[in-house]
C-alpha cells in the first residue's frame, strides 16, 4: 500500500498549510515539507528493490465496470520521476519559505503546491491510464492556480489562462488518444499496454492515437509550436518556475513519451514527428533564449530548448538515444532548477531580472554567483559538470542519425553555450554598477541552500556519473526500453569522437556569438517575428467571438422563439421516426362511443377554441378554460377513474381561484401584437403538434400492451398486502409511497417558493408598482356580501365533514388524502373569500408553514416507523379491530401517511393563497373588522 500512500501524502499535506499558517510561516513550511519528506522516505525505502529491477505494484479496484482501477506501480522510470518530484519539491518548499514576501498568502501557495505535487506523483505512479488522465488534468488545474498565484498581476492571470488553455486543450487530445490506445489493447492497464507493442503498431488506429497522445505531450512539454505558453507562465513566483517549469510539470510530457516509448516508438511516424519536433524546438528555443533580456525568460526558452533536446532523443527511437534522454532528464532537472532559484534570488535582492540593468553582481553576491556559474556552465556543457556528459552523448547520437541532424544539434548546442555564458557574463561579470533598483547582496542561508545543494549534485554527477547515478540511469532506461540495455558508458572521457569535435565547435562558436552579441541583437530586433501571444490572443478572441455570435444568434432572449423551435423540432423528430418504422393496425378491442362522450368532446373542443379565440380577454378565457377542467373530470368518471375525477374537480377549483387572484394584479387584456404571419406559423405548429400527439394517443390505445404490465400485481396484492380495496389509493400510500412522499415535498417546496417570491415582491420597485395598481382596482361597494358570508358559514362544517369522510374512506373507496386536502382547502377558501383574508386568518391560528412541515414529517415518521419492525422505509402495516358495539374496522399505518399527504396539501394550497392575499393587502385592500360589510342586526341608519 505504500505507493498509494506516497501518492496520497501530498494531497493530505495540501489540507494543512491553510491551517498551519496561523502558527507562523516556519511551522507552515515545516508541516508542508514533512509530508513531502515522508513520501520521499517511503519512496526511498522502495528504491533498492526497484534499482534491482523489481516492479512494485499496488492495486485497488475503483470502478471496474469502466476499467478504472486505482492501480499504482513503481519501476525505474517512476522512481526517477517520483524522486525528482518529491526531492526537488522539498527543496522548493524550503526555498519558497524564504522567497515569498510577507504579504503573500503562504498557506494558499503551499496548498496549491502540494496539490500539484500529488497530481504529479500520481501521473508517474499510475498503472492505469484512466487514472493517469485524471492526475494529468489535475496538474493542469493546479498549475493554473500556481501560475496565477499573484492575482494582482495581469501577466500572471493571462499567463495562467494561456497555460491552462494550451495544456488543458492538449489534455483533451490526450484523453482521446489514451482511450484509443486502451481500445486497441482492450485494457486500460499500463502494464498490459506496455506488452502489446505489435497489436498497437499493427492497428489502423495507431496513427490517430499517436497523434493525439503526442499533442498532449507536446503541449505539456512546450514543444514547438506550442512552446509559447511556457515563457508567459514565468509570471509565476520563481519557486513555481523552478518546480513546475523546469523540473516537473513540463517533463510530464517527456515522461509519458518515455513511458509509452516501448509501444509507440520505432515507427517512421514516431521518428519523423517526435524527432523533428524535438530538433526544431531545441534550435529555436536556444536561439530565442539568447536574445531574451529577462533572466527567467532566458531560462524559460532554454528549458524549451532542452525539452526539445530530450524529445528529439526519444524520437530517434533507438535504445542508446533513450538512455541519453533519461540521463539528460536527471541532469537538466538539477542544473535548471538551480538556475531558476538563483535567478529568483537575483530578482529578490536586486529587484529586477532585466539583464540590461544587471552586471557586476559577482562582487556583491559571491555565493549566488558561484552557484549560478556552476549550473550555467553545466547547461553550456562544459566538462566536469553533468550537463557536459549528456550533451556529449546527445551529439554522438545525433551524429549517428543523420548528418543534418548532427549539424542542427551542434547549432543548438552552440546557442546553448552562448546564452549560458550570457547568463553568467551579463549578470555577474563586468563592472559593478550603482543603479540597481535594489541593494543586491547574498541572501540568507535558507534561500541559497536549495540551489547550492543542486549545484553540488551537478558537480558530483559530472565527476563520478557512474557511481552516483549509474544504477538509477540503468533502472530507468531499463523501464523505458523494456528490453536488454544497450552498451553505454557514463564517463568523462569518451576518446576522440565526432561528438568531441562538435562539442568544441559549439563552445568556440558560442563564445564567438556572445562576443558579437551587440551586432547580432541589432539584426535580431530588426527581424520580423511572429509574436505568439498576439496570435494566441487573436485565436482565442476569434473563437470567443464566434461562440458569442452563435450564442447571440441562437439565444436572443426571445423565449417564444425557443418554444416554437422546441415544439416544431419535437414534432418533426417524432414524424421522422414514425415514418422510419413499419406499422401494423392495432388489434386492441375498441370501446363503443356513446352520445355522452361525443357531447363531452364537442364541449371540450368548443371550450378549447374559445380559449384560443378569446385569450386576449383574460377573464373570459379563464372562465372558459374551467369548462375544460369540468369536462375532463366527467370524462374520468366515465372512464372508471373516480379518484382522478375527484382530484381533477377540486384542483380545478383551486387553480381557477388562484389564477383569478393573480389576474387581479395583471393586465386584464392581452394586446394584439402578433402579426398575421406569426399567427399562421404558430397555428400550423400547434395544429401539427395536436395531430401528432392525438395520433400517437390513438395509436397507443388501439394496440395491446407490448408486454405484461405490473398492474396485475398491484390489483392482486392491494387487499392482502396493503389492506385496502381502492387500488389507486393503495398504490399512492403504500406501493409507491416513496414517490408520493417525494411529491408532497415538491408541493411544499412549490408553496414555499411562492411565499419567498411574494416576500421579495413586497419591497422596492414591485411593491411601488403594486400600490400603483391597487389605486386602479375598482372595488365593489359590498365586498363581503351577506348571502355569501352566511352560505359559507353554513357550508363550512358540512364541507369539513365531507373532507373527513373522503379521507377516511380513501383506502377502500374513491377518495384519500389528496382529495380530502383539496376539499378542506376549498372550504377554508370560501371563508376567506366571503369575509376577507385578514378577517378569516385572525380566527385561525395555525401557521401554514407548520402545517406543510407537519404533513411531511408525519409522512416521514410513518415511513421511519417501519424500521423499528425491521422493514424497509415506508413498509405499511394494518390490522382489524373491533370496539363493541361498533362494526369491525381497519387501522393501517398507511392512513397516517395519508394524513401527512392531507396536511401537506392543505398547507401548500393555503400558503399559496395567503401569499397572494399579502400582495392584495399591499395593493391597498383594507381589512374589515366585521365578517360582512353590512351588519344585519343594525338598521340602515345605525350602520351609517
Partner 1 sequence: MELIVALAVGVLTAAAIYLILRLRTFPVVLGTAMLSYAVNIFLFATGRLAINQPAVLLTGGPYADPLPQALVLTAIVIAFGMTAVVVMLALGAYLESGTDEIDMKDETKGDRT
Residues numbered 815-874 forming contacts with partner 1, rule: CB under 8 A:
818
**Interacting residues with partner 1 between 523 and 582 (CB under 8 A):** 556-561, 563-564, 567
Nearer to partner 1, 149 or 755 (CB): 755
Quick one: which of 154, 366, 437, 690 contacts partner 1 (CB under 8 A)? 690
What does DSSP say about strands 878-881 and 889-892: parallel, antiparallel, or unpaired? Answer: antiparallel
Residues within window 575-614 making contact with partner 1, judged by CB under 8 A: 588, 590-594, 597-598, 600-601, 604-605, 608-609, 611-612
Q: Which stretch binds partner 1 (CB under 8 A): 291-299, 413-421, 487-495, 709-717?
A: 709-717
Q: Which is nearer to partner 1, 521 or 716 (CB)?
A: 716
d(C-alpha 42, C-alpha 13), whole Å: 15
The sign of the CA dihedral 176, 177, 179, 184 is: positive
CB of 151 to partner 1, least distance (A): 31
Q: Which is nearer to partner 1, 221 or 740 (CB)?
A: 740
Helix extents (H) in 763-892: 764-776, 786-809, 817-835, 837-842, 848-868
Among 19, 202, 535, 691, binds partner 1 (CB under 8 A): 691
One DSSP character per residue, 654-718 reads HHHHHHHHHHTTS-SB------HHHHHHHHHHHHHHHHHHHHHHHHHHTS--SS--THHHHHHHH
47: contact with partner 1 by CB under 8 A: no
Chain centroid, CA 399 distance in Å: 48
Q: How far is the CB of 631 from partner 1 (least distance, A)?
A: 8
Q: Which of 543, 546, 693, 846 binds partner 1 (CB under 8 A)?
A: 693
Of 531 and 669, CB closest to partner 1? 669
Q: Which of residues 358-397 bind partner 1 (CB under 8 A)?
A: none
Residue closer to partner 1 (CB basis): 715 or 798:
715
Closest C-alpha to 13, from 103, 119, 140 = 119
Nearest to 29 by CA among 452, 458, 450: 450
Helix (H) or strand (E) holding 266: none
Can you read off the three cell numbers belonging to residue 915? 401569499
Among 63, 546, 746, 891, binds partner 1 (CB under 8 A): 746
End-to-end, the C-alpha distance of the chain in Å comes to 93
Q: How far apart are CA 406 and CA 836, in angstroms?
A: 97
**Least CB distance to partner 1 at residue 912 (A):** 5
Task: Output 452 or 731, the one with its CB closest to partner 1.
Answer: 731
Q: How far is the CB of 602 from partner 1 (least distance, A)?
A: 10
If the CB atoms of residues 696 and 791 are measured against partner 1, the closer one turns out to be 696
Measured from the CB atom, the residue of 328 and 922 that comes closer to partner 1 is 922
Please state the closest distance from residue 202 (CB atom) to partner 1, in A: 53
For the CB of residue 540, give the shortest distance to partner 1 in the complex, in Å. 23
CB of 718 to partner 1, least distance (A): 6
Q: How far is the CB of 226 from partner 1 (least distance, A)?
A: 37
Based on the shown chain and the rule CB under 8 A, indicate whether residue 812 belongs to the binding site for partner 1: yes
Burial class of residue 273, CB neighbours in 10 A (0-12, 13-18, 19+): middle
DSSP 112: H
Name the helix (H) or strand (E) containing 74. Answer: strand 72-74
Enumerate the β-bridge partners of residue 56: 74
Q: Find the part of the chain contacting partner 1 (CB under 8 A) among 22-30, 142-150, 414-422, 668-676.
A: 668-676
Pick from 339, 425, 330, 424: nearest CA to 386: 330
Kindly tell me which of 521 and 739 has the beta carbon lying closer to partner 1. Answer: 739
Which of 211, 276, 500, 766 binds partner 1 (CB under 8 A)? It is: 766
Of the residues 466, 491, 725, 930, which one makes contact with partner 1 according to CB under 8 A: 725
Q: Which is nearer to partner 1, 12 or 622 (CB)?
A: 622
Q: How far is the CB of 627 from partner 1 (least distance, A)?
A: 11
* Residue of the chain from 197, 618, 783, 921 that contacts partner 1 (CB under 8 A): 618
390: left (phi over 0), alpha (psi -120 to 50) or beta: alpha
516 binds partner 1 (CB under 8 A): no
d(CA 221, CA 230): 9
For partner 1, which stretch binds (CB under 8 A), given 24-32, 122-130, 672-680, 854-862? 672-680
- Taking the C-alpha atoms of residue 194 and residue 695, their distance in angstroms, rounded to an integer, is 58
Q: How far apart are CA 629 and CA 636, in angstroms?
A: 11
Region at 589 (left for phi over 0; alpha for psi -120 to 50; beta for the rest)? beta
Helix (H, G, I), strand (E, B) or coil at 189: strand
User: Least distance in Å: CB of 735 to partner 1?
Assistant: 8
Which cell numbers in the block locate residue 573? 423528430
Q: Can you state the angle between helices 249-259 and 295-316, rounded to 10 degrees?
A: 0
Residue 586 Cβ vs partner 1, minimum distance, rounded to whole Å: 9
**How would DSSP label each residue in 443-470?**
--HHHHHHHHHHHHHHHHHHHSHHHHHH
Selected binder of partner 1 within 753, 777, 842, 846 (CB under 8 A): 753
Query: Phi, psi (5° rounding) for residue 365?
Result: -130, 65
Residue from the set 198, 434, 435, 673 that interacts with partner 1 by CB under 8 A: 673
Compare residues 23 and 550 and give the one whose CB is closer to partner 1.
Answer: 550
Q: Which is nearer to partner 1, 30 or 689 (CB)?
A: 689
Per rule CB under 8 A, count of chain residues that contact partner 1? 119
Query: Min. distance of Cβ 632 from partner 1 in angstroms?
Result: 6
Determine the Cα angle at 245 with ends 321 and 460, to 5°. 60
Give the shortest CB-875-to-partner 1 separation in angstroms. Answer: 18
Contact (Cβ atoms closer than 8 angstroms) between residue 479 and residue 78? yes
Residue choice 194, 732, 833, 859 for contact with partner 1 (CB under 8 A): 732
Residue from 523, 543, 550, 700 in contact with partner 1 (CB under 8 A): 700
Q: Which 81-120 positions form the footprint of partner 1 (CB under 8 A)?
A: none
**Closest distance to partner 1 from the beta carbon of 800 (Å):** 20
For partner 1, give the closer residue by CB, 335 or 741: 741
CB of 620 to partner 1, least distance (A): 11
Is position 925 an interface residue for partner 1 (rule: CB under 8 A)? no
| Residues within window 864-923 making contact with partner 1, judged by CB under 8 A | 905, 908, 912, 915-916, 919
Question: H or E segment at 58?
Answer: strand 56-58
Whole-angstrom distance, CA of residue 561 vs CA of residue 552: 13
* Residue 287, C-alpha cell as written in the block: 536561439
Question: Which residue, among 298, 140, 273, 229, has the nearest Cα to 539 in the 3D structure?
Answer: 229
- Cβ 629 to partner 1 shortest distance, Å: 7
> What x/- string results for residues 622 through 651 when contact with partner 1 is judged by CB under 8 A?
x--x--xx--x--xx-xxxxxxx--xx--x
| Cα distance between residue 846 and residue 832, in whole Å | 15
Give the CA diameter of the chain: 132
Q: Distance between CA atoms of 724 and 904, rounded to whole angstroms?
A: 22
Cell triple for 376: 550555467
At residue 68, φ and ψ (nearest 5 deg) are: -100, 115
Q: Which stretch binds partner 1 (CB under 8 A): 403-411, 536-544, 813-821, 869-877?
A: 813-821
Residue span binding partner 1 (CB under 8 A) among the ranges 462-470, 490-498, 704-712, 855-863: 704-712
**Binding of partner 1 at residue 654 (CB under 8 A)?**
yes
Kindly tell me the burial class for residue 242, based on how many C-beta atoms sit within 10 Å of its own C-beta (0-12, 13-18, 19 or more).
Answer: buried
Minimum CB–partner distance for residue 730 and partner 1 (Å):
8
* DSSP state for residue 494 in the 8-state scheme: -
Amino acid at each position: 500500500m505504500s505507493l498509494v500512500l506516497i501518492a496520497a501524502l501530498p494531497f493530505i499535506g495540501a489540507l494543512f498549510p491553510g491551517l498551519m499558517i496561523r502558527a507562523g510561516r516556519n511551522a507552515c513550511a515545516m508541516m508542508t515539507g514533512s509530508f513531502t519528506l515522508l513520501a520521499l522516505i517511503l519512496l526511498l525505502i522502495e528504491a533498492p528493490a526497484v534499482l534491482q529491477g523489481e516492479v512494485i505494484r499496488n492495486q485497488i479496484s475503483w470502478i471496474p465496470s469502466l476499467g478504472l482501477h486505482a492501480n499504482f506501480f513503481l519501476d525505474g522510470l517512476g522512481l526517477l520521476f517520483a524522486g525528482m518530484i518529491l526531492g526537488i519539491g522539498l527543496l522548493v518548499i524550503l526555498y519558497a519559505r524564504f522567497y515569498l514576501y510577507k504579504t503573500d498568502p503562504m498557506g494558499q501557495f503551499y496548498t496549491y503546491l502540494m496539490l500539484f505535487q500529488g497530481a504529479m506523483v500520481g501521473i508517474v505512479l499510475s498503472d492505469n491510464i484512466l487514472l493517469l488522465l485524471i492526475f494529468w488534468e489535475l496538474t493542469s488545474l493546479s498549475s493554473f492556480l500556481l501560475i496565477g498565484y499573484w492575482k494582482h498581476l495581469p501577466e500572471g492571470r493571462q499567463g495562467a489562462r494561456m497555460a491552462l488553455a494550451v495544456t488543458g486543450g492538449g489534455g483533451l487530445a490526450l484523453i482521446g488518444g489514451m482511450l484509443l490506445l486502451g481500445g486497441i489493447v482492450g485494457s486500460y492497464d499500463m502494464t498490459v499496454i506496455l506488452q502489446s507493442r505489435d497489436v498497437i503498431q499493427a492497428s489502423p488506429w495507431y496513427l490517430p492515437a499517436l497523434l493525439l497522445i503526442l499533442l498532449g505531450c507536446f503541449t505539456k512539454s512546450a514543444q514547438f509550436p506550442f512552446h509559447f505558453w511556457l515563457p508567459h507562465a514565468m509570471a509565476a513566483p520563481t519557486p513555481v518556475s523552478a518546480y513546475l517549469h523546469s523540473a516537473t510539470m513540463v517533463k510530464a510530457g517527456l515522461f509519458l513519451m518515455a513511458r509509452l516509448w516501448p509501444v509507440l516508438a520505432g515507427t517512421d511516424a514516431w521518428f519523423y514527428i517526435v524527432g523533428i519536433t524535438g530538433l526544431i524546438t531545441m534550435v529555436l528555443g536556444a536561439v530565442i533564449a539568447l536574445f531574451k533580456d529577462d533572466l527567467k525568460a532566458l531560462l524559460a526558452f532554454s528549458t524549451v530548448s532542452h525539452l526539445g533536446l530530450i524529445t528529439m532523443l526519444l524520437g530517434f527511437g533507438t535504445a542508446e538515444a533513450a538512455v541519453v534522454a533519461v540521463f539528460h532528464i536527471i541532469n537538466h532537472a538539477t542544473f535548471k532548477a538551480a538556475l531558476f532559484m538563483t535567478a529568483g534570488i537575483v530578482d529578490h535582492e536586486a529587484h529586477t531580472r532585466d539583464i540590461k540593468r544587471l552586471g557586476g553582481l559577482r562582487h556583491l553576491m559571491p555565493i549566488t554567483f558561484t552557484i549560478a556559474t556552476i549550473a550555467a556552465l553545466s547547461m553550456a556543457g562544459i566538462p566536469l559538470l553533468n550537463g557536459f556528459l549528456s550533451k556529449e552523448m546527445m551529439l554522438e547520437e545525433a551524429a549517428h542519425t543523420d548528418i543534418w541532424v548532427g549539424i542542427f544539434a551542434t547549432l543548438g548546442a552552440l546557442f546553448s553555450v552562448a546564452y549560458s555564458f550570457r547568463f553568467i557574463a551579463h549578470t555577474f561579470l563586468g563592472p559593478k554598477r550603482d543603479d540597481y533598483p535594489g541593494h543586491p547582496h547574498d541572501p540568507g542561508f535558507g534561500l541559497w541552500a536549495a540551489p547550492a545543494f543542486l549545484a553540488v549534485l551537478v558537480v558530483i554527477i559530472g565527476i563520478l556519473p557512474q557511481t552516483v547515478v549509474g544504477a538509477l540511469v540503468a533502472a530507468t532506461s531499463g523501464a523505458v526500453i523494456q528490453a536488454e540495455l544497450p552498451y553505454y558508458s557514463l564517463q568523462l572521457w569518451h576518446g576522440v569522437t565526432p561528438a568531441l569535435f562538435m562539442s568544441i565547435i559549439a563552445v568556440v562558436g558560442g563564445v564567438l556569438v556572445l562576443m558579437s552579441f551587440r551586432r547580432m541583437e541589432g539584426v535580431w530586433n530588426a527581424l520580423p517575428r511572429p509574436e505568439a501571444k498576439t496570435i494566441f490572443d487573436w485565436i482565442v478572441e476569434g473563437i470567443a467571438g464566434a461562440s458569442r455570435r452563435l450564442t447571440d444568434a441562437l439565444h436572443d432572449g426571445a423565449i417564444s422563439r425557443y418554444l416554437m423551435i422546441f415544439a416544431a423540432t419535437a414534432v418533426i423528430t417524432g414524424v421522422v421516426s414514425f415514418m422510419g418504422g413499419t406499422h401494423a393496425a392495432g388489434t386492441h378491442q375498441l370501446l363503443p362511443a356513446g352520445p355522452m362522450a361525443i357531447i363531452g368532446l364537442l364541449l371540450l373542443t368548443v371550450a378549447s377554441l374559445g380559449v384560443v379565440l378569446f385569450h386576449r380577454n383574460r377573464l373570459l378565457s379563464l372562465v372558459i378554460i374551467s369548462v375544460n377542467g369540468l369536462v375532463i373530470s366527467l370524462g374520468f368518471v366515465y372512464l372508471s377513474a373516480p379518484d382522478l375525477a375527484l382530484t381533477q374537480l377540486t384542483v380545478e377549483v383551486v387553480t381557477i381561484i388562484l389564477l383569478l387572484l393573480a389576474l387581479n394584479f395583471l393586465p386584464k387584456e392581452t394586446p394584439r401584437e402578433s402579426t398575421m404571419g406569426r399567427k399562421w406559423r404558430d397555428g400550423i405548429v400547434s395544429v401539427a403538434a395536436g395531430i401528432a400527439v392525438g395520433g400517437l394517443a390513438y395509436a397507443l390505445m388501439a394496440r395491446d400492451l407490448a408486454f405484461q404490465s405490473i398492474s396485475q400485481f398491484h390489483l392482486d396484492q392491494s387487499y392482502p398486502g396493503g389492506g385496502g380495496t381502492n387500488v389507486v389509493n393503495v398504490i399512492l400510500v403504500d406501493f409507491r409511497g416513496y414517490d408520493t412522499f417525494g411529491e408532497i415535498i415538491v408541493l411544499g417546496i412549490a408553496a414555499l417558493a411562492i411565499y419567498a417570491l411574494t416576500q421579495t415582491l413586497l419591497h422596492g420597485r414591485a411593491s411601488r408598482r403594486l400600490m400603483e395598481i391597487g389605486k386602479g382596482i375598482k372595488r365593489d361597494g359590498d365586498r363581503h356580501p351577506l348571502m355569501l358570508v352566511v352560505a359559507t358559514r353554513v357550508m363550512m362544517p358540512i364541507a369539513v365533514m365531507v373532507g373527513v369522510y373522503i379521507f377516511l374512506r380513501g383506502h377502500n373507496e374513491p377518495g384519500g388524502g389528496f382529495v380530502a386536502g383539496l376539499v378542506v382547502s376549498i372550504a377554508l377558501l370560501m371563508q376567506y373569500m366571503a369575509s376577507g383574508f385578514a378577517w378569516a386568518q385572525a380566527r385561525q391560528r395555525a401557521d401554514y408553514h407548520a402545517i406543510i412541515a407537519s404533513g411531511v414529517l408525519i409522512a416521514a415518521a410513518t415511513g421511519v416507523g417501519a424500521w423499528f419492525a425491521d422493514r424497509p422505509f415506508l413498509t405499511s402495516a394494518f390490522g382489524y379491530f373491533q370496539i363493541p358495539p361498533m362494526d369491525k374496522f381497519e387501522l393501517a399505518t398507511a392512513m397516517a401517511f395519508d394524513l401527512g399527504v392531507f396536511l401537506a396539501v392543505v398547507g401548500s394550497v393555503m400558503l399559496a393563497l395567503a401569499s397572494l392575499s399579502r400582495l392584495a393587502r399591499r395593493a391597498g385592500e383594507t381589512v374589515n373588522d366585521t365578517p360582512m360589510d353590512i351588519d344585519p342586526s343594525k338598521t340602515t341608519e345605525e350602520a351609517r
